[in-house]
Structure 1
Amino acid sequence: MAKRIIKKVAVIGSGIMGSGIACHFANIGVEVLLLDIVPRELTDAEKAKGLTLEDKVVRNRLVNDALRASLKSKPSPIYHQKFADRISTGNLEDDITKIKDVDWIIEVVVERLDIKKQVFENLEKHRTPGTLITSNTSGIPIQFMSEGRSEDFQKHFCGTHFFNPPRYLKLFEIIPGPKTDASVLEFLNGYGEQYLGKTSVVAKDTPAFIGNRIGIFSIMSLFHTVKEMELTIEEVDKLTGPVIGRPKSATFRTVDVVGLDTLVHVANGIADNCKNDERLQLFKLPDFINTMVENKWLGSKTGQGFYKKIKDENGKSEILSLDLNTLEYRSAKKAKFDTLELTKPIDKVIDRFKVLVSGKDKAGDFYRKSFAQLFAYVTHRIPEISDELYKIDDAMKAGFGWEHGPFQIWDAIGVEKGLELIKAEGLEAANWVDNMLSSGSTSFYTVQNGATHYYDIPSKTQTKVPGQDAFIILDNIRKSNQVFKNSGVVVEDLGDGILNCEFQSKMNTIGGDVLAGLNKAVDIAEKDFEGLVIGNQGANFSVGANIGMIFMMAVEQEYDELNAAIKYFQDTMMRMRYSAIPTVSAPHGMSLGGACELSMHADKVVAAAETYIGLVEFGVGVIPGGAGSKEMALRASDTFRKGDVELNVLQEYFLTIGMAKVSTSAYEAYDLGILQKGKDIVVVNKDRQIATAKAHARLMADAGYTQPVKRKDVKVLGKQALGMFLVGTDAMEASNYISEHDHKIANKLAYVMAGGDLSEPTLVTEQYLLDLEREAFLSLCTERKTLERIQHMLKTGKPLRN
């Protein structure tokens, strides 16, 4: 088979989904042609300008407006606004001939079979044979779409279902048509995972495929349970959110965001086309949903759904909730359950399920009932929607943001216990579950030799989940490859002479135990290994230093201990930089404050594309004190070029800290000077991150890594920089842009980054800057307003401006 390379794609249809898909291809460096229909009439503005329907600007209005709206939307569909230059727009009349030059055509037009067939007929006239052509339908059977098309078209045609928003949701369902060539499916499966950063799942051509079939069942069964158990929507959202590893928006807020009409459309599709589904009754819409649809209470798009935001008489925003009995909005009620209190000390979501299903209150009843329904349902969907159980779990995790799939949750509760719950609910699991137990397999998954295996129903054996060889799954190797462990970290052997240091603290905060673990990891690596990766597979890399510990010491005025703690942090960062082995940091998700400092001191950063990284210490009333302020001064010095206005360069780095800038993707971190071009890299698929980081550590070791020499050549600008900064901060406070305390913090930072009040530009050591930084940090910890900021952050998780 000839090698297939994707250099250019055409996306047909520029709605929310089409524009989102176009942006994600632009994210990964592919050239995109985005086409839509020509408007049939002029707007008033166009008439006023004297334009006609023949003008190009009018003919491309729909596509250009849609793309513009998409690029402005939050969260952004694109990693960096300049990546939008990779997208060119046009219309389906003037520009359709251009599709002859693309490698892949993706149709994302309205969900109507007649329109899709018309579009395909038109596309086939201009498509070059051998070009991939796929539909992003979420409900129309793939087999109907390619009827009447040529042999070549049908061979290269299938469904590729992205989930909205395409940048953030990882599920990529691939649905073969009756004549799709096996090599096309194999290519798309690999491309989705490696290049698009997705979890690729080849699904069967059944209504709603895998993700939506199970996801919509889960929501619909909840709609019925809510009424039956007389729960409020706040209670359900409390029970079905982060406590069970689901998104914060849980159930009802998620429906509001997605749109009730979208949900109803998919549910009706399943009800109409899955007549043999044993739970068909559950897809019939409850009365309250019908009323809401009639009233156009569809969620965020219509301003009200299950929740409604209003302003009270004082202009203060309030979120009201819908009472499902009266269908009237009322003030939100706080939901509280004893069972949930019992899970508070349990950090790992997977360990909570046993506690939840044995709850003695309404929450326990709810979990027993809803898990019983879900477990029974998924057993009957094999082999209807998938032959392999792991694909159902993958689809729910990647498409609906669940931390664990149904079979993983069932394993956590225990297979026998799950069957008990199903029976208690008057339901039955499919026969293959009993067969599994009698064949000697007591769980759906096992880990063997560091790889995940699943129970394969036809062969009745535990079979390795395919495609894992490109990944390192820390959960699978943590116990068998452990080299060191304390309360803050686990250090694992990744093989090939490379170690990994994985944070295990709450929210991966960096406290004394983590710092001790990092130092120990460097010690072990220097003695017996050849490189060190600092990486984990938690929800976030790390939210930074343990500010609770800093707060306690500051309140109790233990300044010597605090000074020692900050110095320990600084020394650990310098240890990362000046060790005898290469160090690679692998940040992802939130990588804030101390976590950002740590990454800036590694030899290399292998960042996940979805990395939100920045020095945010201003928000808690201090400056970066773990070598971050020093590092920004050093990086500014390294970027001074002959003829530069050096003050302007330094000011950029100063503002990155002073405005607590955080990147909204790893690519933006290059602009902030946090990631460095030519040194640090970005990976789109987070699952590959640890393996890629390991490979880079190995590469540096193989290239003959030499321990770096400590820097004594950092150019600081002294009084001239300090004077400029102080004038600037005075003006900012005078104009009420910053508070008096912000002014004080900014001046302390200015002093550090200018290198103090030296009379002329001077070359200094890193240690000189570290001492200035630590002194400034300590003095800020003696300020009442700083302590108020830290306390507020610890209580609310939000910064205080005082």
Structure 2
Amino acid sequence: MKRTIRKVTVLGSGIMGSRIACHFANIGLEVLLLDIVPKELNDKEQAKGLTLSSPLVRNRIVNDALAFAAKSNPSPVYNKAVLNKIKTGNFEDNMAEIATCDWTIEVVVENLKIKKIVYDQVEQFRKPGTLITSNTSGIPIHMMAEGRSEDFKKHFCGTHFFNPPRYLRLLEIIPTPETDKEVIGFLMHYGDKFLGKTTVLCKDTPAFIANRVGVYSIMALLHLVEKMDLTVEEVDKFTGPALGRPKSATFRTTDVVGLDTMINVANGLAENVPNDEQKEAFVLPDYVKKMQENKWLGDKTAQGFYKKTKDKDGKTEILALDLKTLEYRTQNKVKSATLDATKPIENLKDRMKVYAAGKDKAAEFFRISFSGLFEYVSNRIPEISDELYRIDDAMRAGFGWELGPFEVWDALDVKEGVEMMKASGKTPAKWVTEMLEAENQSFYKIENGNKTYYDIPSKSYKAIPGQDAFIVLDNIRANKTIWKNAGTTLTDLGDGILNLEFHTKMNTIGGEVLAGINKAIDIAEKDYRGLVIGNDGANFSAGANVGMIFMMAVEQEWDEVNLAIKMFQNTSMRLRYSSIPVVVAPHNLTLGGGCEFALHADHVQLSAETYMGLVEFGVGLIPGGGGTKEMTLRASDEFGNEQIEQNVLKEKFLTIGMAKVSTSGLEAYDLGYLLKDKFSISMNKSRLIADAKEKALELADAGYTQPVRRTDIKVLGKYGLGMVYAGANTMRSGNYISDHDQKISQKLGYVMCGGDLSAPTLVTEQYLLDLEREAFLSLCGEKKTLERIQSIITKGKPLRN
């Protein structure tokens, strides 16, 4: 059947419920958020003379919860306008409205009796055929469906979002034996395409997949800490970014999530997995029990494994918990030869081999912990999943691991991983030994551009389902690369569309990337139909390689600096004025030059999570790759819409001058970095390259023609400069900005006003580019600019001088 979701009800407005509601509103749906009615008035309500029948009182719980969510950081919404799509109400007055909804999601307290009471209400009003799902993480899904109508059971399923729902990509789908297969298929597809999730089909087992494996991993580590006499700082250093894990690593993540949350899941597993060979791992260590007694639960109680305090000088200091004495102390610097050896290695899989071969405490920790993890996940098949790839998918999307456990095992080489396990007293599941005996040497293979996994029942490799919707550059690069240099690779995506990816550190833009873009356009214009600029890295681009600019400026090689700026500008203009459509596909950090490339693309196909901005002001510069010119051009185009010209210019000026960075792809449009009808958003980052390819094909099929260079850009001259200079002087007088900030502001304003022309004038793009380059070059000669650049390069911190 054809199923369309237009309106969703979320029952329960707590931490998860309110944020799930926000995420459905993010994708444009109408949302009804309901919760219970208060049983008594609070002090403010009594002071106002309200009663329990007053609408404000009856909806107080849900309204307070939504307001709290809206103010939380990071924000659960793409922009504040999203909140207008959410209507609040309560279970008594508004439950009948679920009859107008296509999907009802229950997110009430983890109590089966309470959930069944809520379902009794739902059955009274729910329209037959609509979806009804639960976000439970601890109650078996089949138990919640007991006693319900046949239609309810048929359309009922577990949909376990991970917190925060906007940012963590995992959505576990847990059907019951009665769930209709059409419903399962729909939820898997809808979660992927529209909610932007990695949807993982799970069995109805305790804690499903991600929490079963993830909490085991954390609990085993908590016990290992005692055995190896490790500190909180050491563990977080060993299990952080160097290992492909989030910066918050283990203990800091536990503080953020809440130690009580982890304890509840661990206790539930200790009770409900009697046949788990590692069930003792779920028993809390004594120091964790003591922390629970002390209510040291993490951020929610202002102390956990870490505690923020102030020293005698009033400076903020973050103390670490000594796990032996349970007293807080100053953090110790962690040193490790193994970690040092991994730093220059960009490829995470290669880094794993260095970890395993090391001789220090970090390496020993790696070998013991991963040996246990390998044993555990191999033994969980087929208990929690029939397919090994689902476990890796769940751990990457739910816990932020760059590599799942079977992928790490593959990186080490499966045979060598088994030998490592034996040395640690661990044994893989029988099926792993049988796989190796049959001369199948890995859990995954790339075959004809598709990733395949080892299927245990058939003892053969099968393609991972759903890959036809994705283009994974890692999978096609070996056979589809048609050109590359030190910083870029040009790949044939098929159907006449090429993709250029960057692979410099943080995908920064230097000479090799600029050369790669120009070469890609040359090749595309000659033999292809279009070009995508996108990559599968952690970030699209952190901007221009300021280190290169710094070195040339220090050596006073001004001709070289000028040529570098000109090449950057010419490359941006080449993106705009090539004879083939160019689609830029940004995601995550898209700063400085990366943003400038997006500004000049024919179309921007961006991830919902894109943090875009022109941030050059922070290093004492103005956007010099065409960004200042382009924002001036866009201001000019808005002048004709009955806008007050100085206000429009001021808005664009402040966007650059305040180095505004969007907190989402949608907000990048609000800030003026994207143009209406010239951008699309991919909710699922995994679909980004494929979606960008489709857009390039669409533009080519529509008969794309090369645009004509603009000669009609209106600049305000002295009429605008007066406003810019007066504003900068006022900010300086109030000590809001430094002398150098004032100078940069004046340079920026000079370019955006077209110089000190006596009257508003129409100018060309090249005129503005020349002014932009001149201003950028002059700022490179400023001592304070060089100090700012040096601070970013050496300390990674902005300097305000």
Would you say how many aligned residue pairs link Structure 1 and Structure 2? 801
1:57 corresponding residue in structure 2: 56
The reply to whether residue 663 of structure 1 matches residue 662 of structure 2 is yes
Q: Return 177-186 or 13-22, whichever deviates more.
A: 177-186
Q: Give 3-state SS (helix, strand or coil) of 1:209's partner.
A: coil
**In the alignment, residue 148 of structure 2 is paired with which amino acid?**
R
1:620 corresponding residue in structure 2: 619
Q: Give 3-state SS (helix, strand or coil) of 1:352's partner.
A: helix
Pairwise mapping of residues 296-311 of structure 1 onto structure 2 (< 5 A)? 296-311=295-310
2:407 corresponding residue in structure 1: 408
Q: Give 3-state SS (helix, strand or coil) of 2:118's partner.
A: helix
**In the alignment, residue 747 of structure 2 is paired with which amino acid?**
K
2:445 corresponding residue in structure 1: 446
The reply to whether residue 326 of structure 1 matches residue 325 of structure 2 is yes
Q: Give me the whole-angstrom Cα distance separating, in 1, the residues matched to 2:642 and 2:551.
A: 48
Pairwise mapping of residues 634-645 of structure 1 onto structure 2 (< 5 A)? 634-641=633-640, 643-645=642-644
Unaligned runs of at least 5 residues, structure 2? none
1:361 corresponding residue in structure 2: 360
Pairwise mapping of residues 534-613 of structure 1 onto structure 2 (< 5 A)? 534-613=533-612
Q: Give 3-state SS (helix, strand or coil) of 1:569's partner.
A: helix
Pairwise mapping of residues 70-81 of structure 1 onto structure 2 (< 5 A)? 70-81=69-80
2:714 corresponding residue in structure 1: 715
**In the alignment, residue 187 of structure 2 is paired with which amino acid?**
L
Q: Give me the whole-angstrom Cα distance separating, in 1, the residues matched to 2:439 and 2:583.
A: 43
2:108 corresponding residue in structure 1: 109
1:685 corresponding residue in structure 2: 684
1:15 corresponding residue in structure 2: 14
**In the alignment, residue 691 of structure 1 is paired with which amino acid?**
A
The reply to whether residue 24 of structure 1 matches residue 50 of structure 2 is no
1:141 corresponding residue in structure 2: 140
Q: Give me the whole-angstrom Cα distance separating, in 1, the residues matched to 2:96 and 2:797.
A: 53
1:186 corresponding residue in structure 2: 185
1:392 corresponding residue in structure 2: 391
**In the alignment, residue 262 of structure 1 is paired with which amino acid?**
T
Q: Give 3-state SS (helix, strand or coil) of 2:479's partner.
A: coil
Q: Give me the whole-angstrom Cα distance separating, in 2, the residues matched to 1:258 and 1:674.
A: 34
Deviation at 1:644, TM superposition (A): 2.8
Q: Return 713-722 or 16-25, whichever deviates more.
A: 713-722
Q: Give me the whole-angstrom Cα distance separating, in 1, the residues matched to 2:572 and 2:147.
A: 64
Q: Give me the whole-angstrom Cα distance separating, in 2, the residues matched to 1:56 and 1:796.
A: 54
Structure 1 length as normaliser, TM-score? 0.99
Q: Return 350-359 or 174-183, whichever deviates more.
A: 174-183
Pairwise mapping of residues 477-492 of structure 1 onto structure 2 (< 5 A)? 477-492=476-491
1:519 corresponding residue in structure 2: 518
**In the alignment, residue 610 of structure 2 is paired with which amino acid?**
T
1:795 corresponding residue in structure 2: 794
Pairwise mapping of residues 709-788 of structure 1 onto structure 2 (< 5 A)? 709-788=708-787
**In the alignment, residue 666 of structure 2 is paired with which amino acid?**
Y
Q: Give 3-state SS (helix, strand or coil) of 1:463's partner.
A: strand
1:694 corresponding residue in structure 2: 693
The reply to whether residue 335 of structure 1 matches residue 334 of structure 2 is yes
Unaligned runs of at least 5 residues, structure 1? none
Pairwise mapping of residues 497-508 of structure 1 onto structure 2 (< 5 A)? 497-508=496-507
Q: Give me the whole-angstrom Cα distance separating, in 1, the residues matched to 2:628 and 2:659.
A: 12
Give CA-to-partner distance per residue, 1:711-770, whole Å, 9 cap, x none: 111111111011111111111111111111100000000000000011111111111101
Give CA-to-partner distance per residue, 1:218-243, whole Å, 9 cap, x none: 10010011110111110000010000
Q: Give me the whole-angstrom Cα distance separating, in 2, the residues matched to 1:451 and 1:31.
A: 37
Q: Give me the whole-angstrom Cα distance separating, in 2, the residues matched to 1:418 and 1:268.
A: 30
Q: Give me the whole-angstrom Cα distance separating, in 2, the residues matched to 1:790 and 1:547.
A: 7
Q: Give 3-state SS (helix, strand or coil) of 1:333's partner.
A: coil
Give CA-to-partner distance per residue, 1:592-635, whole Å, 9 cap, x none: 00100011011110010100000000000000011100111111
**In the alignment, residue 398 of structure 1 is paired with which amino acid?**
A
Aligned-residue sequence identity (percent) comes to 66
Give CA-to-partner distance per residue, 1:509-547, whole Å, 9 cap, x none: 000111111111111111111101000011100000001
2:203 corresponding residue in structure 1: 204
Q: Give me the whole-angstrom Cα distance separating, in 2, the residues matched to 1:92 and 1:26.
A: 20
Pairwise mapping of residues 408-427 of structure 1 onto structure 2 (< 5 A)? 408-427=407-426
Q: Give me the whole-angstrom Cα distance separating, in 1, the residues matched to 2:43 and 2:711.
A: 66
Q: Return 253-262 or 716-725, whichever deviates more.
A: 716-725
Give CA-to-partner distance per residue, 1:428-457, whole Å, 9 cap, x none: 111111111122311000001111000000
Q: Give 3-state SS (helix, strand or coil) of 1:478's partner.
A: helix
Deviation at 1:177, TM superposition (A): 1.6
Q: Give me the whole-angstrom Cα distance separating, in 2, the residues matched to 1:313 and 1:643.
A: 57
The list of structure 1 runs, each at least 4 consecutive aligned residues, that deviate by more than 2 angstroms after superposition, is: none
CA distance change for structure 1 residues 104 and 758 in 2, over 3 Å: closer, same or farther?
same
Q: Give me the whole-angstrom Cα distance separating, in 1, the residues matched to 2:472 and 2:641.
A: 47
Pairwise mapping of residues 336-351 of structure 1 onto structure 2 (< 5 A)? 336-351=335-350
Q: Give me the whole-angstrom Cα distance separating, in 1, the residues matched to 2:643 and 2:471.
A: 45
**In the alignment, residue 270 of structure 1 is paired with which amino acid?**
L
**In the alignment, residue 455 of structure 1 is paired with which amino acid?**
Y
Q: Give 3-state SS (helix, strand or coil) of 1:538's partner.
A: coil
2:646 corresponding residue in structure 1: 647
Q: Give me the whole-angstrom Cα distance separating, in 1, the residues matched to 2:171 and 2:29.
A: 18
Give CA-to-partner distance per residue, 1:324-380, whole Å, 9 cap, x none: 111110001111100111111101212100110000111111111011001110000
Q: Give me the whole-angstrom Cα distance separating, in 1, the residues matched to 2:549 and 2:749.
A: 23
Deviation at 1:315, TM superposition (A): 1.1
Deviation at 1:642, TM superposition (A): 5.4
2:81 corresponding residue in structure 1: 82
Q: Give me the whole-angstrom Cα distance separating, in 2, the residues matched to 1:572 and 1:128.
A: 56
Q: Give 3-state SS (helix, strand or coil) of 2:536's partner.
A: coil
Q: Give me the whole-angstrom Cα distance separating, in 1, the residues matched to 2:100 and 2:529.
A: 47
**Pairwise CA RMSD:** 0.8
Q: Give me the whole-angstrom Cα distance separating, in 2, the residues matched to 1:796 and 1:191.
A: 43
The reply to whether residue 266 of structure 1 matches residue 300 of structure 2 is no
Q: Give me the whole-angstrom Cα distance separating, in 1, the residues matched to 2:103 and 2:174.
A: 16
Q: Give me the whole-angstrom Cα distance separating, in 2, the residues matched to 1:604 and 1:228.
A: 56
Q: Give 3-state SS (helix, strand or coil) of 2:500's partner.
A: strand
The reply to whether residue 132 of structure 1 matches residue 131 of structure 2 is yes
Q: Give me the whole-angstrom Cα distance separating, in 2, the residues matched to 1:642 and 1:548.
A: 41
Structure 2 length as normaliser, TM-score? 0.99
Q: Give me the whole-angstrom Cα distance separating, in 2, the residues matched to 1:482 and 1:128.
A: 52
Q: Give 3-state SS (helix, strand or coil) of 2:478's partner.
A: coil
Deviation at 1:796, TM superposition (A): 2.2
1:381 corresponding residue in structure 2: 380
Q: Give me the whole-angstrom Cα distance separating, in 2, the residues matched to 1:782 and 1:169.
A: 44
1:312 corresponding residue in structure 2: 311
Deviation at 1:643, TM superposition (A): 3.8
1:158 corresponding residue in structure 2: 157
Q: Give me the whole-angstrom Cα distance separating, in 1, the residues matched to 2:99 and 2:642.
A: 49
Q: Give me the whole-angstrom Cα distance separating, in 2, the residues matched to 1:797 and 1:304.
A: 28
Q: Give me the whole-angstrom Cα distance separating, in 1, the residues matched to 2:289 and 2:601.
A: 56
Q: Give 3-state SS (helix, strand or coil) of 1:315's partner.
A: coil
Q: Give 3-state SS (helix, strand or coil) of 1:215's partner.
A: helix
Q: Give me the whole-angstrom Cα distance separating, in 2, the residues matched to 1:770 and 1:165.
A: 43
Q: Give 3-state SS (helix, strand or coil) of 1:479's partner.
A: helix
Q: Give me the whole-angstrom Cα distance separating, in 2, the residues matched to 1:579 and 1:96.
A: 56
Q: Give me the whole-angstrom Cα distance separating, in 1, the residues matched to 2:151 and 2:242.
A: 49
